[in-house]
Amino acid sequence: MWRFAGVDLATARARIDAAFEAGVTLFDTADIYGFDTPGGFGSAETLLGDVFAEAPGRREAMVLATKGGIIPGVPYDSSAPYLASAIDASLRRLRTDRVELWQIHRPDLLAHPQEIARTLEDAHAAGKVGAIGVSNFTPAQTSALARFLPVPLVSHQSEFSPLHLAPLFDGLFDQSMEQGMAFLAWSPLGGGRLGDPADERGRAIAALLDAKAAEYGVSRAAATYSWVMAHPARPIPIVGTQKVERIGEIPQAFIPRWTRAEWYAVLQIAMGERLP
């Protein structure tokens, strides 16, 4: 839902309907999404809440996730008073009394994990959030928060694509597998850069993805999503397209299959070096 704001209700409803028709059930938004549109901070959540008001059955059928803790100009606040107010504000905008997953959007270096944990525990106990996750956290930051939480952290959300490989090597995938956490991969197409590569590395990666796409009769995007999903941490690509026709292509991601040699070939081109 990163670019969901700034459109009319009919357009928003068409996007949600297309996603359901494609088999999508997880919808990931955040309170800051839309802050750079005329609607401002919270406008993506507000627009989704408008869709729910028009079609309440859509809310009942989805796994709804949102995030909070970023304030333009601050930039981060995970203090107890702010997080409690942010969760309540998101629920009002979304016109719902509960979200299935609530995630801290980015770590606040001035907030003690015990303070954060207490606030999230209260929201969970009150039934406002069904589960708790973290976004853009390091493994150490995640472990520190988990130490004070009586309920498990169920998800990581961080960037992962052939153009951003950090979770493979910084411990995020390892922790996800160790703790049984879902991994939500944002910008799985490299922020759109894999759609129109601007350098030799990107073009070389795209060529391998295109070969896989041609083998299975799918789009380059679908081949990329399938490469992301092939890791045993079972990353879930957060698909950011707002085009109905592209949303309809999402199921193609389940079609391609990668051999180890093919998957590692993409990785080594992406790394710019051969593995030993």
Q: Quick check: is 33 catalytic?
A: yes
Residues forming a β-bridge with 43: none
218-222 own/partner pairs: CB under 8 Å, 24+ apart: 218/249, 218/252, 218/253, 218/255, 218/256, 219/249, 219/252, 220/194, 220/195, 221/189, 221/194, 221/195, 221/246, 221/249, 222/249, 222/250, 222/252, 222/253, 222/255, 222/256
Give the integer Cα–Cα distance in Å for 257 and 268. Answer: 18
Number of residues that make up the chain: 276
Give the integer Cα–Cα distance in Å for 126 and 124. Answer: 5
Catalytic position from the list 33, 82, 216, 264: 33
From 43, 62, 34, 33, select the one nearest 130 (Cα to Cα). Answer: 62
Place of tokens 């080594």: 268
Q: Which residues are catalytic?
A: 33
